Chains A and B, each alone.
Chain A
Amino acid sequence: MFERFTKGARAVVTGAVAQAERTASPQVTDEHMLLALLDSEGTRSAFAFASLGILDQRASVEAGLADARRRGGMSSADAAALAEIGIDVGQIVSKVEEAHGPGAMGVGGTAKRGWTSHKKFAPEAKKALEQSLRVALGRGDKEITDGHILLALTARPGVVSDVLADHGGTYGAVERALFGAAG
């Protein structure tokens, strides 16, 4: 699959690994891929982020990801849905942190294996990369670009797509920003 990745797409993958290393994360996740995409300059996805106003909201995007992590992988949309049935996730997290310490509900945790520098890709990150291939195939594109990876991230349900949507980066909006109205 990787032989079809453009230079820009490969830079996202290596950038995601660097993000994971910087934060001492046990695995490379789709969140790291999003952060790597936000870091890229002069790429199609950088253009899309700029035109959607997401580049200026980077701090808010990172805060959204951090909040979701603290809630145990629960996005603001998940929390809103739970609030609809009378469950206050914020309160649950506070109570758990009171009893078990800050970040007790958080996802991430400790490294699975030893001190090897070779980081593994989390299942959701692998699936996002597979999705980018499907996105490219679906559009009849021969190569997988950073844009396809970004679109794949918006297409997969989860914290990353929820946080992007909260900042105006829904699948439809990102697709239009990347590939124009004709899609």
Chain B
Amino acid sequence: MTDATDLAERAGDRDPRVGLRAVAALRRLLEQLEAVQVRSARNQGWSWQEIATQLGVSRQAVHKKYGRQ
């Protein structure tokens, strides 16, 4: 049995592992999506301030995270 089907079956038992794993995966998914969108915005000439406003964070936070790339 694969890990994936194993997990799916346990989900029926409300195994916290599945829910927690989903949260952890979602967090990584969020990071990936953010990186893609920030890169795209920069390529289209957006300023760090404009990106930060849309993300709802400070300019410094965005620049610190993505500025050196």
A residues near B, CB below 8 A? Answer: 72-85, 87, 89, 92, 96, 99-100, 104-105, 107, 162, 165-166, 170
Other 7 A-B pairs with CB < 8 A, given A74-B25, A74-B29, A92-B33: A74-B28, A78-B21, A78-B24, A79-B4, A82-B25, A84-B7, A105-B32
Per a CB cutoff under 8 Å, which of B3, B22, B26 touches A76?
A: B3
The verdict on B8 contacting chain A, using a C-beta distance below 8 Å, is yes
Do the beta carbons of A84 and B4 come within 8 Å of each other? no
Do the beta carbons of B2 and A81 come within 8 Å of each other? no
Main SS of the interface on chain B?
helix
B residues near A, CB below 8 A? Answer: 2-5, 7-8, 11, 18-19, 21-22, 24-26, 28-29, 32-33, 36, 40
State whether A82 and B29 are in contact (beta carbons under 8 Å apart), knowing that A100-B36, A104-B36, A105-B36 are contacts in the complex.
yes
Main SS of the interface on chain A?
helix
CB B52 to nearest CB in A, in angstroms, measures 20
